[in-house]
Structure formats: C-alpha cells, structure tokens
Chains A and B, each alone.
Chain A
Amino acid sequence: MAAFKHPQILIASNLTDGEVVFLGPSGWERHHRRARIARNAEEAAALEASGKRDISANRVVDVYLADVEIGGDGVPTPLHYRERMRVKGPSVRLDLGKQAMTGGAP
C-alpha cells in the first residue's frame, strides 16, 4: 500500500448516467462538499472497500481515491487539476456540469 500523504475522497461515475459522484456518509453524493474524507490509510481502505461493494452492486464504475486538501470550511478540494475539473465541470462551459448548479462556486 502506498504511503498515506494527504486526506482522500472516493470518486466514481454513476453507472446509469455517468455523472461524477463522491462517496458520502450515507451513499453516493453528486457534490464533493458532502464527500466522506479519509484522514488515514485505514479510513482510505474503508472508502475503497465501500467503492468495491458498489461496483459489484452496479451502482458506480471507475472508482478511485483522490488526494484533497481541506479548506477552512471543511470542504475537500482535490489537489490535482484533473479532479478539480471533475468536481466542477468543463472550464469552457460554466453553464454545464456541477458548477452550473452552484453558480460556479466549488
């Protein structure tokens, strides 16, 4: 297992519509603000185990952990620009994706 360096959240794509989802306290959420945050390797492993179960249950696909930093408001923000794109939507169409529902706010 790779060394645990940063807090992590679990990202996936919803099977039926492909939308990006985040594992929350009680299931998959469509906004990363509600994502469960793993703060150590054990918690990350638990997130991954939940993800594997939901792959088997045909709820989600393409599941992986993403490193995040935690803001002062407790909201996780992905460290890598690829995942930062996924939590918002295309940077060239602010009217589309998750950012369209939040008025551009992360």
Chain B
Amino acid sequence: MTAVDLRVAQRPNAPLTTYRYDEYDAAFVRQRVAEFREQVRRRLSGALTEEEFRPFRLMNGLYLQLHAYMLRVAIPYGTLTARQMRQLADIADKWDKGYGHFTTRQNLQYNWPKLVDTPDILEALADVEMHAIQTSGNCIRNVTADHFAGVAVDEIEDPRPTAEFLRQWSSLHPEFSFLPRKFKMAVTGAAHDRAAILVHDIGLRIVRNDDGEIGYQVVVGGGLGRSPFVGKVVGEFVPRHDLLAFLEAIMRVYNRFGRRDNKYKARIKILVHEKGIDEIRAAVENEFAAMDRSVFAHDPNEFERIAGFFAPPPYETLPRDSQLLRAAKLGTPAFANFVDVNVSAHKIPGYAIVTVSLKPIGGVPGDATSDQMRVLADASERFGFGELRVSHEQNIILPHVKQDDLLALWRMLDAAGLATANAGLVSDIISCPGLDYCSLATARSIPIAQAISKRFADMSRQRRIGKLGIKISGCINACGHHHVGAIGILGLEKKGQESYQITLGGDPTFSASIGEILGPGVTAEQTPDVIEHLVDFYLAEREEGEAFIDTWRRLGHARFKDVLRREGEDGADI
C-alpha cells in the first residue's frame, strides 16, 4: 500500500477548489479498502458464501450485472479534480475496458471489473481521495448538487459545503446504515433547479429569509421509480444551525415508520404519501423537539473550514464580455454554435461555464473513453483551474473557463470528439445503461437514445427545436429519470418483446411534474417516429419562445394523444 501514487502526483500549484481529505478521512478510506480486500480474500477462499459476501460488496459499490461485475464510484456532489479524472482514466485502462459511464447520480460506473481486481481498484481510488462507499445498499447514497455550484449567476450560496457536511454526517452513520431502502439527497443554492431536488428522498434548497439569514427549504418524499412522486415541503425555513438535527429527525421518523415488509413500498416517498405530509411534518417536529440536539449543534467554524475548501479560484479581473470571443464566433460558425448552446453565463466577469456533452450523435449517453477523460483533465488544467463537474444529465462541466480561452478549448474538445453542441437539446438524452448492461433492466435504453439522436442529427434542426429533455429508462426503477422528461421513455417487456411506453409533461425543476402516459407501448423501431411526430406537432403549435413542456401544458395532454392517433389512422404505423 502506498500513501501517495507517484503516477498522479499532485500539481503543487493546483488551487484548492474542492474538499481535501484530512488524516481521518484518508485513514478511514484506506481502512475500508483493507477490510474489503480481506472480505474478497475470504469470499474467494470459500470462507464467505455469496449470500454472506453480497452485502459487503454492495456496501463497496460492487454489483454483479448482466455480463460482468460493475463498480460504481462515488463522485461527491459531482465534483472532480483533474488528478482524479486522470486516475479514473488510468483505472479504466488498467482494470476495465478503457471507458467509464457517468451516471444520473453524478457517479461513474466501470462495466467490466473483475472481483479479484476490485481491492486494487479501490486502493487506486483512495490514492486520489475517492471511494465507492455507499454507492449501493439501503443507506444514504452519494449526495448530489447543482453542477453549476459556486459559479452560477442565479445562486444564493454554493451548495457544496452543505453537501460535504451531509456527506460527512451520513457516511457510515450507525443509525442509518440499514434503512428500509436506499436514500438519496440533493442540494441546490440557485433560483433555478439543476439538481432535480424535488424528486429526491430529501431535497434541500438554500434560501434566504426576510431577515437575510441563510437557511434551507427542506423537501421530503420525492422520487421516481415504480411510484413517482414530487416531494413536499416539510420545513419551509430550517436555519443552518438546525439543519443536521432536522435531517436526523426526518431519518429517525423514516427509520421507525418506513415499511420493511415490502421493498416496493419501503422508500420514504411511500411513507409520506400514505401518512400525508402534515402527519410526517408533525412526527419530524416532535422528534426534533424531543431529541438531544447538542450532538448536532452547528459549528460555524467547522462549516467555514469546509467552505474554505470550495473557495473561488484566483480569477483574473476581466471585462464582462470578451472581444476575442466575439471575433472568434464571427469567424468560426461551428464554434459560435457551440458557445450559443453549451456555454453558460458565469458569475465572474470574463468567465464562462462550459458543458462538455457526452452525447455525440449516435453515441452512448454518458460514456467517455479513457483518452477523452485525459483530454478533459488536461483541458480543465489548461483552461479551468483543474476542476470538473459531472452533471446528472451525464455531461461534464468545466466551471471556470475564461471567455478568451473558449476557442482554444473548443478546438481541443473537438479534436477529441467532445464538442457536440447539443447541451439541453433534443439529442442531449439522459439514458440509463438499460438491458445492454443492467441485470434489472427489462429493455434496452441506449439504442433508443442512439436512434433518436440520429433522427435529429441535423444540428440546425435541433437548435430550431430548442431545449427539450428526453429521458429514457430501461426499467421501472427509472435511473434514466423518464418520469421527469418533457418526453419520457420507459422500456418494458411486453409478450416477450421490448416495448416502449412514452410519457409527456415531466419536469425535474422547481415546477416539477410527473409525465403522463401517452398511450400503449410502441416497438423500438417505432419509437423515433413517435418522438418525431410529437416534436413536429410541438413546432407547429408552439407560441413564440415556448418550450415543449409549456406547449404541452397549454394545449393539454389530449391534444398530443390526438395527433398520434390521427397519424396512426393515416397509416404512419404508430
């Protein structure tokens, strides 16, 4: 075991923009690796049966999937350093098949690790302050956050210090390591929700009260899967000093009353739905009032210490708009399209947020080769203070790029096949791995995403359509978030064949809604036709500046159903 991996030696001049392990963190992760190494040894020797071993491997993120084991690596609140991204690439080459899959929970999955290699992989992750702990099992999973955290123009406060606080509180929490079911949390500090907090078990929205004090609106009972629900507000304004105790109270109520007799009814969303939010709120408030809150007392110094890890990098003082960028856009239309679609406003003048799409036309959503990961690491060091983010939309974010550098960055990305200008457009499709990899899946999802992407390959057509979220899941567990897609697609089995159920009207933001079923399932071959008809109808009916979801809300679901029915009667075979 080595304390420092010399292959990935830290750049001495790298700024501190992400949390760094202290001695306790480092020792804890190393200890877990050693523990799992011993568990694997005992499994291979036969001292542990599969039944005995399974909970141990799941606690360390190791699943058994359709073709091989799968290792899910935690990327806390989606934040990565260049050094970590490079290590993920090296692991992909050394122990997997040269690529990784970025997931809708801001994690990374390797699809082909061998059980015998997993302890070494975990050791390599520990070398760069990463792990796979609590990426599976009935515990509090990786805490996710707005991928524009710290740089968004609409932000009240960077959500990452809060997310890191929650990560530390929830890691190996003895009371919450064996919950009725898995538990997912998300945090945003912005006016626009990019973290889908309303469809998490607990969603936190950083808000400011009338006195200017920072606190949290706490939402509980959201979730997708078999029974989708939009979360409900359980705490309108929870002051920061009460946050951990308040969350502890929620978890205790869930741990006490959540159903353990039926896994399909075990998530907190079912408890909230069955009891009602008023009864849950009363139970939480009673628990909060009765509990010993001293152990959860807020330590402002500790919060400030953690917040210090997320300090802004040393930005230059620049004009708000770059003349270089303006000239470059005029001279290079493809670059101009990239900037218009994939570049977002930054809170610091002269800087920009860049979304690197992992959705090339016809590609596998969320996949990146090891070479692409290294390009992203290099790009972040050259142009973005060595920091990257993973979005729940399965893209990579470079959060601190000088506008003056955008052309050079675009050229670098373009050479690596990473410059697809489709962020948020119809081909920026969220898709779970589906039956191509997942043992739970009932149908493939990636080929559907690829077919739709190819159908809309014309980028000028995509830009005319505008923002449109298509989300695809290969089973009812909804890892592809299909319930909250403006167009959602769910792959099911119907009479021994793959069948696709389409929903409309889903929305993952603060105006969250669950999509409504369009009609009977269609085949894989029919699906792109159906999507195209829906999009064409939207284009014909939309009002100036109206997004798909707004047209759907204005016209109503029945109008969209009607158009498909008419198309079917006209012989379109849908």
Contacts and interface: CB of A to CB of B under 8 A. Distances in A.
B496 A91 contact: no
Nearest to A82: B435
A63 B67 CA distance: 13
Interface residues of B, number: 28
Interface stretch (A1-9, A16-24, A39-47): A16-24
A66 B364 CA distance: 29
A92 interface: yes
A42 B379 CA distance: 62
B64 A18 contact: yes
Given A58-B46, A81-B498, A17 B64 contact: no
A96 B345 CA distance: 40
Contacts of A85: 66, 435-436
Contact of B112 (A62, A86, A92, A96): A96
Contact of A17 (B50, B114, B435, B496): B114
Contacts of A20: 66-67
Contacts of B435: 81-82, 85
Nearest to B364: A92
A18 B114 contact: yes
Contact of A86 (B66, B113, B115, B497): B66
Interface in A30-88: 55, 57-58, 61-62, 79-82, 85-86
Chain A contact residues, majority secondary structure:
loop
A57 B65 CA distance: 21
A19 B435 CA distance: 16
Contacts of B497: 81
B281 interface: no
Contacts of A55: 50
Contacts of B446: 90, 92
Given A16-B44, A85-B435, A92 B450 contact: yes
Contacts of A81: 435, 496-498
Nearest to A13: B64
A82 to B, nearest CB: 6
A96 B116 CA distance: 20
A91 B43 contact: no
B388 to A, nearest CB: 24
B510 interface: no
B496 A80 contact: yes
Contacts of A13: 64, 68
B545 to A, nearest CB: 36
B496 A61 contact: no
Given A17-B68, A19-B67, A90-B446, 20 more contacts: A15-B44, A15-B50, A17-B114, A17-B115, A17-B116, A18-B65, A18-B113, A18-B115, A19-B68, A55-B50, A57-B46, A58-B44, A58-B46, A81-B497, A82-B66, A82-B435, A90-B67, A91-B447, A96-B97, A96-B112
25 contacts: A13-B64, A15-B115, A17-B69, A17-B115, A18-B67, A18-B68, A18-B69, A18-B115, A58-B44, A58-B45, A61-B64, A80-B496, A81-B435, A86-B67, A89-B67, A90-B67, A90-B437, A91-B436, A92-B364, A92-B436, A92-B447, A92-B450, A93-B364, A96-B97, A97-B67
